[in-house]
Structure 1
Amino acid sequence: MIPKDPVMLLSFVNTQLRDFYPDFEALCKDKELDSRKIEEKLRSIDYEYDSKSNQFI
């Protein structure tokens, strides 16, 4: 359902956040995703969630 490649995952998550969700928690809850696994995978390419901009930067 979600991309396995970290760069593709980054694009997918940020697009979802921009277009449909008020925050990362809402995205994970709605799509039944493990937020810790996503954050860990994106941290591996030096991206962290920024709540002010509602995106991984």
Structure 2
Amino acid sequence: MAVPNDPVILMSYLNTQLRDHYASLEDLCKTMDLDPAEITAKLNTIGYVYNAQRNQFVPA
């Protein structure tokens, strides 16, 4: 399945996946064959960063 292209929808989708299925962004990216640098760069454009302690994207 392709991930959403819109950054806001992508953030919501990824946070749901991280909460429900994955222990880390690294695990999610490996499983879904995604580039973590590309994902974080796209979400940085809307002011979100990955917080490893919370295992979710949060406002910067």
| TM value normalised by structure 2 | 0.93
Higher strand share: 2
**Mapping 1:12-51, distance limit 5 Å:** 12-51=13-52
How many residue pairs get matched?
A: 57
CA distance in 1, matches of 2:33, 2:6: 19
- Percent identity of the aligned residues? 49
Quote the offset at 1:31 in angstroms: 0.5
C-alpha RMSD over aligned residues: 0.4
Quote the offset at 1:27 in angstroms: 0.1
Structure 1 residue ranges without an equivalent (≥5): none
Query: Could you tell me which residue of structure 2 aligns to residue 8 of structure 1?
Result: 9
| TM value normalised by structure 1 | 0.98
Q: Which amino acid aligns with 1:25?
A: E
Runs of 4+ residues deviating >3 angstroms: none
